[in-house]
Amino acid sequence: MKDLYRLLPEEMEQLVIDMGYPRYRADQILLPLYYKFPKNLSEIKQLPKKMREELIESGYVIGSAKKIHQIVSEDGDTTKLLLQLTDTSVETVLMQYNPSKIGGHPRSTICVSTQIGCAMGCVFCATGQMGFETNLMAEDIISQVIHFAEILQKRGEHVTNLVFMGMGEPMANYDEMIRAVKILTHDRGFGLGQRHITISTIGIPSGIDKLSEENLQIGLAISLHAPNNELRKKLVPTAGPHSVEDIIDAGKRYFQKTGRRVTFEYALMAGINDSPEIAKELSLLLQGNGSHVNLIPINPTAGDFQRPSPESVSEFERILSNAGVNCTVRMEKGTEISAACGQLRTDVDNLAK
């Protein structure tokens, strides 16, 4: 079984040429795929019947992921889908931001997953506590976007942003992740602007360096969570002995190569990494490097970690800001449906949660 969502437009072109059809037939497949969302090849009426039959006989399909559960937050701004793939399932999330609350234009951001589970083992993350199960193929990543794009289209809306912050470590599934990004940003594919995509990583320097060479104007977010190696190792067991310095340096190289400002994500945990002393240590680490810090009060997960008080969060932010470190506190969405940062896991036995 071969999913047409896996093919780059150039590969789609080569496919139709190899089948003995003119080059323009590729666009007659691509246009419906990314704007009409057909469920099978028989729905692409622009193609000759004979060509559709030949594609089916060759084993081609459209979007093998099927929705098996959908849950919406109380305010209606967050939707979580559980999608059934060939032999596993994956969670993906749509977050919508009302312009009256955030200023500017409305945003519909999809948080996509690149793996089932995660091998990084972050002690405060539900996905990390699942352990690693498997990498997703590019077509499985794209299917998450397509499912929400269809939902939004029916409302007269569209996808505005993508964040690779769902299940898994994108850099640990680099080739499939990049293939998906290239298809999703291709002007003959999904056509989303590169600057509307952010890839989040726990901090794999080799992957960050590789990404900087892709000639893509996409955002990079690095999960820091601690200003020193001893504390970071407790929170991220797979972190190396010099991980803080390594990822700070990798972020600098990414900025120098791409000109894109790096965001450091920092999950605030009460009594763990939220003290004024740690805030001062973090400010000294990041002072003057032009990066941005995204403070994330921890969300409820299976781990025994508590969200800091609003006063503690404000104080932490104040210390960073006073030191000249650009920072914001993330507005979390979907916590009550386990759709917020660090909460995703495919637990089919607890679908209603």
The confidence score (pLDDT) of residue 335 equals 54
Query: Is the separation of the CB atoms in 268 and 303 below 8 Å?
Result: no
User: Over the Cα atoms of the chain, what is R_g?
Assistant: 21
Pair 201, 307 in one domain: yes
Pair 94, 180 in one domain: yes
Query: Is the separation of the CB atoms in 110 and 148 below 8 Å?
Result: yes
Pair 16, 114 in one domain: no
Kindly report the average pLDDT of the chain as a whole number: 91
The confidence score (pLDDT) of residue 209 equals 98
Q: Which of 111, 118, 125, 341 is the catalytic position?
A: 341
In the chain, the amino acid numbered 243 is S
Active site residue 341: yes
Pair 139, 190 in one domain: yes
Pair 148, 212 in one domain: yes
Pair 78, 37 in one domain: no
Q: Dump pLDDT digits (tens) for 153-169.
A: 999 999 999 999 999 99
Pair 146, 36 in one domain: no
Q: Which of 91, 139, 169, 332 is the catalytic position?
A: 91
Q: Dump pLDDT digits (tens) for 43-88.
A: 999 999 999 999 999 999 998 899 999 999 888 889 999 999 988 8
In which domain, by residue range, is 34 found? Answer: 2-61
Residue with tokens 């403070």: 295
Return the bridge partners of 134, or none: 116
Of 13, 45, 61, which residue constitutes the final position of a domain? 61
Domain tally, the chain: 2
The confidence score (pLDDT) of residue 103 equals 55
- Three-state secondary-structure class, residue 242: coil
Residue 161's φ and ψ, nearest 5 degrees, are -145, 155
Closest to 218 measured CA to CA, from 182, 242, 247, 172: 182
**Sign of dihedral through CA atoms 94, 95, 100, 104?**
negative
Query: Is the separation of the CB atoms in 155 and 108 below 8 Å?
Result: no
CATH number, domain with residue 306: 3.20.20.70
Pair 97, 24 in one domain: no
Pair 265, 167 in one domain: yes
18's tokens:
């190899």
Pair 220, 86 in one domain: yes
Pair 42, 79 in one domain: no
CATH number, domain with residue 18: 1.10.150.530
Active site residue 43: no
Of 38, 61, 84, which residue constitutes the final position of a domain? 61
Q: Dump pLDDT digits (tens) for 121-139.
A: 999 888 888 899 999 999 9
pTM of the prediction? 0.91
Provide the residue count of the chain.
Answer: 353
Taking 90 as the threshold, does the pLDDT of residue 264 lie above it? yes
Of 36, 61, 86, which residue constitutes the final position of a domain? 61
Please state, in angstroms and as integers, the Cα–Cα distance from residue 136 to each residue in 139, 141, 142, following that order: 8, 7, 10
Pair 51, 155 in one domain: no
